[in-house]
Amino acid sequence: MSDTVFDRIIAGSIPCHKVYEDAQVLAFLDIAPLSRGHTLVIPKESAATLDQLSDESAAALGRVLPRICRAVIAVTGVKEYNVLENNGRGAHQEVPHVHFHIIPKPDGAAGLGIKWPTGALGADAAQLAKQLAQHLKSAER
């Protein structure tokens, strides 16, 4: 059984500033916010990365994420925000338990800063899309 800081928050052995809870989902304020209202939304299921999450937990997260975004907008008064979900240390994931960041973007300085080094779609794009579609058709959960 995994024992990340978020598992401990779910278990109640570490405190948090709770924002939302249901049978499958917990949301609380990030302890080191990028901006006021920075909120984390996590499944209670112990999955390290999004690809490991069950359909049930994914659906539960998807159902409440927009609601929590609306609450963050209403309470902070900041209409623009980023939703971020990191997977793996190389992709900036520090806590190996799935979590969605909701990060208000009040101005150019506060909130999430993003480098977006765009490239060109490769010549294999059609093949790549086909392979992905075929994999999705054959994959089972």
Residues tagged active-site: 99
16 counts as binding ligand AMP under rule CB under 6 A: yes
* Bridge partners, 81 (sequence order): 104
3-state secondary structure 47-88: CCCHHHCCHHHHHHHHHHHHHHHHHHHHHHCCCCEEEECCCC
Q: 4, 49, 76, 93: which one contacts ligand AMP (CB under 6 A)?
A: 93
11 counts as binding ligand AMP under rule CB under 6 A: no
Of the candidates 12, 78, 2, 1, the residue with the CA atom closest to the CA atom of residue 39 = 78
Minimum distance from residue 74 beta carbon to ligand AMP (Å): 21
* Size of the residue set binding ligand AMP (CB under 6 A): 12
Q: Which residues bind ligand AMP (CB under 6 A)?
A: 5, 14, 16, 30-32, 40, 86, 92-95
